[in-house]
Amino acid sequence: MFYYILKKEFLLIIRNLHALIVLFVMPTVFIIIMTLALQNTYANKYDVKLSVLLSSETPSLALESFVQTLNSNTFFTFTFTQTTPVVEEALYHQKYDFVLTLSNDFTEKLGKSRDVSMALFSRSDISYQQVAFLKQFLSAKLSEMVIGNLLKMQGIKTQNALNFEEIISNTYVLKDKNTTTVTSVQHSVPSWLIFSMFFILIPISNTFINEKNFGTIDKIRSINVSLSTMMMGKFIPYFVMNQLQVFGMILVGMYLIPLLGGDSLVINGSIFLLMLVSFVVSIAAISFALTIATLSNSSEMATILGGTSNIILAAIGGIMVPKVVMPKFMQDVSEISPMSWALDCFLDIIVKGGSFGDIQFNVMKLLLFALLFFTLACLMLNYRRN
Amino acid sequence: MAIHIKNLIKKYKNTIVLDHLDLTIKEGSIFGLLGPNGAGKTTLVSILNFLVSKDFGEVQILGYDSDKNEKEIKARSSLVPQSYAFYPTLSAFENLEFFGALYGLTGKVLHTKIDHCLALTSLEKYREARAETFSGGLKRRLNIAIGLLNSPQILYLDEPTVGIDPQSRSYILSVIKNINQIEGTTIVYTSHYMEEIEYLCDDIAILDQGKIVFHETKETINAHSNIAKIHLSDTSTQEVNLQSNYDALVDTFCDIKQKSLHVKEIELPKNNLENIFMSITKKELRD
């Protein structure tokens, strides 16, 4: 009997084009877009530099050399102009991100007189962090120049001696394996995979609601079939679909993203732990979906109830915006989302190469979540049966 | 007896849906259950199929007590709901395969049974077509085919001809008659269509406000439905039974003529099922 129940459920899923699009096409598109969009956030250089229009009415060789120094970085492009620019014109018509105006004889007076200043003007859509970063960068370069001049006066060779940035290296450290750098694909694949795994509620609720509305469920109930058989008959096919999603999205990360110019997905941790996490996430997602499906009386209600709750859980769970960029308060809030627990598990394995000990707490929380919602679904079904 | 119900009570909150209902349905009969909307027909069929629990009363089905033998009764009966109780995106065969498996059929037995049910409902050539492409009539036939998979001793048909064309309806009625005659299946048939019940059923009951208010065999109804009354000029009345043929009517007219009497009025039989139904359930509109 069970074989035919599974066969029926699989046929219903594979003939539901909308569900297949939600389960497979949506996460693929999201992974591609978000991986490529977040590439700069995780990389050590930007391919789109912030542009700065630097103006001074008193050009000099020293200033020319200073501008050259400023341009030897990977985040900003400095363009020099001798005329005083109209700031609004430069920012909004010439599309500069910043305008930097130096006081007269800036390089000559620097370190010798208090009569020096730099006026920075930023476009309104530039973030505070970017302004702070530019100010720090300028401050470092000015210090470098002042100290360099002092040392030169003392007859001390300064070449490379002041570029402290070069002597500070950074290495991402894994627990017990070879070292790699974190890439955007390592965040995008698990994030959008989890999101789409929870969207299993669309086909589950469609099938459930159709069974209710078409009277199929009454027919089934008039036959000697236990609730547990029917629940397992629903659980297993969707569990398999979830695992196919995991497999498919990992392949997308490994092979499709590099073809589009992104980094290839590298899994630093154990494949078995990855499988364990994907099993647990799937159980949690299906249990949640079964509850939504049992609660809903129409496909519209399921889509609104399930879709909205999924999007909210994803938004607060660090799926849409990485938790690292969230403020402390929002990071604390994210802890209530099962998607956040799932994401932490996946990131622990994929990025940090973590062990079972690292994920066990979140795995436990996901299993409890699954147990709670599965019990709720069974109780509601049983209540309706009686 | 196929079904024996005694003192059945079902309430939904404060509304009594089935009110001390007593009913007996003979084995091998086609039992027609009529009733206005909200009379309790669907609730009764749902209780008999374990979809709704009763509050009080005894229900015996095929000699089994429904309180103790749910499994045995379910194995021997089958429900064809009013709605299309199948999966639209599956083919007729795939639907039958799934429901057959739920009845515990497997392998060759299952496939033989599917072929038999497809043949009984003349769906052989639609075997591989998806149910969503079927017309209303084909969908009704598939619904019935699914109901026949477990070779039920009792088949419940809840308004199985709603929303289909007259040709399909006529075909479905003949299929149901065949199932009763060939397989010996007891049919419990609920409908709003009086003519269907009159044509199909040999045992007819009317359910109103949770009670069986009328229960007779078709023979008894017909016997009372065929008396014509002839009112004569001498104020006397002659009754003529039209059940077998109209010869009796001709003889009566000859007799009247011989007596040189005149016919003042002829009252034709009015006691058909619709009149019985309307006189019992009254004419007020039901919700």
| 3-class DSSP string for chain A | CHHHHHHHHHHHHHCCHHHHHHHHHHHHHHHHHHHHHCHHHHCCCCCCCEEEEEECCCCCHHHHHHHHHHHCCCCEEEEEECCCCCHHHHHHCCCCCEEEEECCCHHHHCCCCCCCCEEEEECCCCCHHHHHHHHHHHHHHHHHHHHHHHHHHCCCCCCCCCCHHHHCCCCCCCCCCCCCCCCHHHHHHHHHHHHHHHCCHHHHHHHHHHHHHHCHHHHHHCCCCCHHHHHHHHHHHHHHHHHHHHHHHHHHHHHHHHHCCCCCCCCCCCHHHHHHHHHHHHHHHHHHHHHHHHHCCCHHHHHHHHHHHHHHHHHHCCCCCCHHHCCHHHHHHHCCCHHHHHHHHHHHHHCCCCCHHHHHHHHHHHHHHHHHHHHHHHHHHHHHHC
Distance CA B200, CA B204 (A): 10
Q: Are residues B126 and B199 in the same domain?
A: yes
- Average pLDDT over every residue of B40-53: 91
- The residue behind tokens 């046929």 is A11
* Residue B280 counted as domain residue: no
Total number of domains constituting chain B: 2
What is the domain-level CATH number for residue B180?
3.40.50.300
Looking up tokens 């060759």 gives B108
Whether A238 and A373 share a structural domain = yes
* Residues 332-361 (A) with a CB less than 8 A from some CB of B: none
In this complex, do A216 and B85 lie within 8 Å of one another by their Cβ atoms?
yes
Q: Is residue A159 located within the same domain as residue A185? A: no
* B175 and B158 fall within a common domain: yes
Are A36 and A125 in a shared domain? Answer: no
b/e B52-62 (16+ beta carbons within 10 angstroms → b): bebeebebbbb
The residue behind tokens 């009539």 is B137
Evaluate whether residue B20 is within a structural domain.
yes
Nearest CB partner across the interface for A8, out of B53, B84, B98: B98
The span from the CA of A117 to the CA of A11, in Å, is 73
- For the question of an ipTM over 0.90, the answer is no
- Residues in chain A within 8 Å Cβ distance of B102: 1, 4-5, 220, 223-225
Query: Of B157, B98, B167, which is closest to residue B135 (Cα–Cα)?
Result: B167
From A150, A167, A184, give the residue that closes a domain. Answer: A167
Q: How many CB pairs under 8 A join A and B?
A: 81
Whether residues B100 and B43 fall in one domain? yes
Q: Check whether residue A206 and residue A77 sit in a common domain.
A: no
Per-residue pLDDT at A354: 85
Look at residue B279 and tell me whether its pLDDT is greater than 60.
Answer: yes
Structural domain of residue A71, as residue ranges? 45-167
Residues 6+ apart with CB under 8 A from A209: A293, A296, A297, A298, A299, A302
Residue A256's pLDDT is what? 94
**Which of A30, A370, A309 minimizes the C-alpha distance to A191?**
A30
Residue B206 lies in a domain: yes
Tell me the nearest-neighbour CA distance from B263 into chain A, angstroms.
57
Distance from CA of B143 to the nearest CA of A (A): 10
Per-residue pLDDT, A314 = 93
> Where does the pLDDT of residue B224 fall: very low under 50, low under 70, confident under 90, or very high at 90 and above?
low
Residues A208 and A268 placed together within one structural domain of the fold: yes
Partners of residue B51 in chain A, C-beta under 8 Å: 218, 221-222
How close is the nearest chain B Cα to the Cα of A288, in Å? 24
Confidence band, pLDDT 50/70/90 cuts, at residue B100: very high
Render pLDDT for B117-145 as a digit per residue (tens, 0 to 9).
Answer: 999 999 999 999 999 999 989 999 999 99
Q: Judge whether residue B44 has pLDDT over 90.
A: yes
Q: Could you identify the residue written with the tokens 């439905």? A: B225
Domain termination residue (choose one: A124, A147, A167): A167
Tell me whether A371 touches chain B (CB under 8 Å).
no
Q: CB–CB of B101 and A5 under 8 A? A: yes
- Whether residues B170 and B266 share a domain: the answer is no
Looking at the fold, whether B258 and B138 belong to one and the same domain comes out as no
A226 touches chain B (CB under 8 A): no
Under the banding of pLDDT at 50, 70 and 90, the label for residue B151 is: very high
Same domain, B115 and B192: yes
Range A65-104 burial, b when 16+ CB lie within 10 A, else e? ebbeebeeeeebebebeeeebebeebbeeeebbbbbbbbe
Contact A302, A201 (CB under 8 A): yes
Q: DSSP for B182-210?
A: II--EEEEE-S-HHHHHHH-SEEEEEETT
User: Which residue stretches of chain B are H helix?
Assistant: 41-48, 70-76, 92-102, 107-120, 136-147, 166-178, 194-200, 218-224, 247-258, 273-281
Are A81 and A10 in the same domain? no
Mean pLDDT for B96-124 is: 93
Residues B212 and B265 in one domain: no
B20 and B160 together in one domain: yes
Q: B49 in a domain, yes or no? A: yes
**CA distance, residue A33 to nearest chain B CA (Å):** 33
Give which of A5, A16, A211, A219 to mutate to test B binding, by max B Cβ within 10 Å: A219
Q: Which of A13, A223, A228, A383 to mutate to test the interface with B (most CBs of B within 10 A)?
A: A223
State whether A145 and A270 are in the same domain: no
Q: Are residues A208 and A227 in the same domain?
A: yes
Question: Is the domain of B105 the same as that of B243?
Answer: no
| Inter-chain CB proximity B90 and A11 less than 8 Å | yes
Best residue in A17, A222, A299 for a mutation probing chain B (most B CBs within 10 Å):
A222
Could you tell me if A364 and A238 lie in one domain? yes
Distance from the Cα of B173 to chain A's closest Cα (Å) equals 21
Domains in chain A: how many in total? 2
Query: Which residues from B are below 8 Å from A222, CB to CB?
Result: 49-51, 74, 77-79
Q: What is the dihedral of CA B165, B45, B60, B114, to 10 degrees?
A: 50
Token digits of residue A94: 């010439």
Asked if residue B282 belongs to a domain, the reply is no
Residue B211 DSSP SS3: strand
The domain boundary, picked from A167, A190, A222, lies at: A167
Tell me which residue in A4, A16, A222 faces B101 most closely, judged by beta carbons.
A4
Q: What is the pLDDT of residue A367?
A: 97
What is the three-class DSSP state of B248? helix
Looking at the predicted structure, is the pLDDT value of residue B238 above 70? yes
B153 and B193 both lie in a single domain: yes
Q: Compute the residue count for chain A.
A: 386
Q: Which residues of B touch A233 (CB under 8 A)?
A: none
Q: Give the domain range for residue B259.
A: 227-270
Nearest Cβ partner for B94 among A11, A216, A225: A11
- pLDDT per residue rounded down to tens, chain A (386 residues): 778 888 999 999 999 898 899 899 999 999 999 888 887 776 655 667 889 999 988 888 888 888 888 888 878 899 999 888 888 888 888 889 999 998 888 877 776 777 788 899 998 888 888 889 899 988 888 888 888 778 777 777 666 556 677 777 766 666 655 545 678 898 899 999 999 999 999 889 888 888 888 888 888 888 988 878 888 888 899 999 999 999 999 999 999 999 998 889 988 889 999 999 999 999 999 999 999 998 888 888 888 998 899 999 999 999 988 887 788 888 889 999 999 999 999 999 998 888 899 999 999 999 999 999 999 988 887 777 66
| A299 lies within 8 A of chain B by CB | no
**CB < 8 Å to B128, chain A:** none
Radius of gyration of the CA atoms of chain A, in A: 29
Cβ atoms of A50 and A76 closer than 8 Å: yes
Q: Mean of the pLDDT values across residues B63-85?
A: 92
- Do residues B9 and B55 make contact, with C-beta atoms less than 8 angstroms apart? yes
Q: How far, in Å, CA of B116 to CA of B110, rounded?
A: 10
| A100 in the same domain as A6 | no
Both B141 and B110 in a single domain?
yes
Of B84, B97, B100, which has the smallest distance from its Cβ to A214's Cβ?
B84
Q: Which of B12, B43, B48, B89 to mutate to test the interface with A (most CBs of A within 10 A)?
A: B89
Q: Are residues B26 and B111 in the same domain?
A: yes
